[in-house]
Amino acid sequence: MNFQQEIIKLLVKETKLKKAELENLISVPPDPKLGDYAFPCFKLGKNPKEAAEMLKKKLKLPKFLSGVQVVGPYLNFYVKNEVITEETLSKITKNKEDYGKQDIGKKQKVVFDFSSPNIAKPFGIGHLRSTVIGSCLYKVHNFLGYKSVGVNHLGDWGTQFGKLIVAFNKWGKEKELEKDPIKYLLKLYVKFHEEADKDDTLNDEAREAFKQLEEGNEKYLSLWESFKELSLKEFKKIYQVLEIEFDSYHGEAFYNDKMEKVINNLKKKKLTELSQGALIVDLEKYKMPPILLEKSNGATTYHTRDLAAANYRLKQYKPIKLVYVVGSEQKLHFRQLFKVLELSGEDVSKFTHVDFGLFRFPEGKMSTRKGKVIFLEEVLDKAIKLTEKIIEKKNPNLKNKKEVAIQIGVGAIIFADLSNDRTRNIDFDWDRMLSFEGETGPYVQYTHARACSILRKAEKSFTKVNYSLLNNEEELAVIRLLYDFPAAIEKAAKDYKPHHIANHLITLSQAFNEFYHKCPVISERDEQMKARLLLVDSVRQVLENGLGLLGIKAPDEM
């Protein structure tokens, strides 16, 4: 039973307010003592307190409510504890790993464009955010009945390849490239910029090399192909550690033969004009700089490729939404892109830019040009090694130590990212990111492992439970959080913010640990023990489900 929806039905009948309006008005009070749901009565008359009193008298309470109470301008609803308890725990027991699943999406497609590292450049810590936020939203939408499509829009085209081709032709060595492709290509890229600072003609050479690449120069295409292949092989190692998959790896180069159609369509609609020999779409009347479609030398830009990609995805997947998980510094680019798509006749409500803050570093901004990069692979390796040391110290006899160390180390990094509101910048701090104390991934994983340990020790079945025995404050606090888990998933999808799930798991873990310390689970009182074991198993299941949606494993032992 969805108690909130039942209360809304009741209020629709008695207040004549519409269902959608009531859904926006009803909230959960900050303190459980104030009830389970609160309805503000401001729209029912000039004196909301009086309106609340009158509404209270009129209401005929359904069986699941224990009462209603007027608190200032609010009418607060109290759901019977035993109803919430039985409803929640029996549903978790029945649905198991599907608890929280819904069919809101009705199999409609949502395309997620995320991760998108640049070929021949390092997969730096900066790429972590788009990768894990996008992957979580992909999983959450699938869980809610949508059909997610994950696209890795690789940065595999553009002037940087002109630079790399020039650099490789001048200073490159084949054997060095094959030994450690990404680091070697980064070295060449840095060298190019150092030399170009002294001799600007190198930049002209790079522009010309990219133009020839676009025109199909065989030697250049062969070099570009090998850069791409070697890079993708390295990237896939990282995706394997993070256990992230994509439905498509179509990068910018894939749209090379699709851009002419885009440009012709915009010309036909009289949206283009020439400016100093370059082809643009002027967006001045929308208070934005113009979009550059073709440079004066005829080379295209990433704007053109993004327009071609949007058109292709609309035709190929027929989605209800196209979601771009890309950093906040690209806000203007997406405003421009969506405006041109709108002007060309597309339904702009389908497009969403899910922006996020950046990692900030004590040593200043990361720069690929200067070779100042923190490799994500090194961060993950460091996290795993640190975890191995902690396991060796705290639980040296643990089975599958290496596997568990990977689950905890990688989980710590993912959780440190996803537990933040995505719109905020994150200060990159090794100690905080790899911490096992406080509001962290390892803390939630440890809570899951503790629940598993209790169940192993008990070796008891917990069928035919007397739900009314779960009635003290600590038990009820845990049950309310278990009941609210599906709502946290919905909120994460609606706001495109995974931290709603991460924070819910932290709060649930804290409430469970409070319960564990105050309420003995394994005891002589058989009926109570069965009820509490069911509660422990329900917490274990919800933590596993929630961590899974974040892309984190839930080890049974730590």
Which one-letter amino acid corresponds to residue 236?
K
What's the token pair of residue 111? Answer: 């395309």
Mean pLDDT of 383-391: 93
DSSP, collapsed to helix, strand or coil, labels residue 324 as strand
Given a cut of 90, whether residue 298 has pLDDT beyond it is no
- Give exposure, 73-100, as e/b (b: 16+ Cβ within 10 Å): bbbbbbbbbbbbbbbbbebbbeeeeebb
Give me the architecture of the 114-360 domain, per CATH.
3-Layer(aba) Sandwich (3.40)
What's the token pair of residue 289? Answer: 């700089």
Domain boundary assignment for the chain: 3-79, 114-360, 376-550
pLDDT for the residue numbered 365: 63
* Cα→Cα distances 43→15, 36, 51, 192, 290, Å: 9, 21, 9, 66, 46
Render pLDDT for 510-538 as a digit per residue (tens, 0 to 9). 999 999 999 999 987 889 999 999 999 99
* Residues paired with 324 in a beta bridge: 113, 353
266, 280 in Cβ contact below 8 A? no
**Residue-wise DSSP of 369-405:** TTTB--BHHHHHHHHHHHHHHHHHHH-TT-TTHHHHH
The contacts of residue 133 (CB under 8 Å, 6+ apart) are: 114, 325, 354, 356, 417, 418, 422, 498
Mean pLDDT of the chain: 94
In whole angstroms, what is the distance from residue 214 CA to residue 159 CA?
10
pLDDT for the residue numbered 437: 78
Render pLDDT for 119-158 as a digit per residue (tens, 0 to 9). 988 898 889 999 999 999 999 999 999 999 999 999 999 8
What's the token pair of residue 414? Answer: 């993912």
Hey, which CATH number is domain 376-550, 1.10.3720.10, 1.10.730.10, 1.10.10.60, 1.10.1370.30?
A: 1.10.730.10
Q: Which residue in 298, 361, 327 sits closest to 134, CA to CA?
A: 327
Domains 3-79 and 114-360 share a fold: no
Residue 147 CB burial class (10 angstroms; 0-12, 13-18, ≥19): middle
Give the range among 18-27, 207-216, 357-366, 485-494 with minimum mean pLDDT.
Answer: 357-366
In whole angstroms, what is the distance from residue 545 CA to residue 393 CA?
29
Q: Which residue in 265, 289, 291 sits closest to 278, CA to CA?
A: 291
pLDDT for the residue numbered 425: 92
In whole angstroms, what is the distance from residue 366 CA to residue 372 CA?
5
Given a cut of 60, whether residue 366 has pLDDT beyond it is no
Give me the architecture of the 3-79 domain, per CATH.
2-Layer Sandwich (3.30)
pLDDT for the residue numbered 368: 60
Given a cut of 80, whether residue 432 has pLDDT beyond it is no
Given a cut of 90, whether residue 241 has pLDDT beyond it is yes
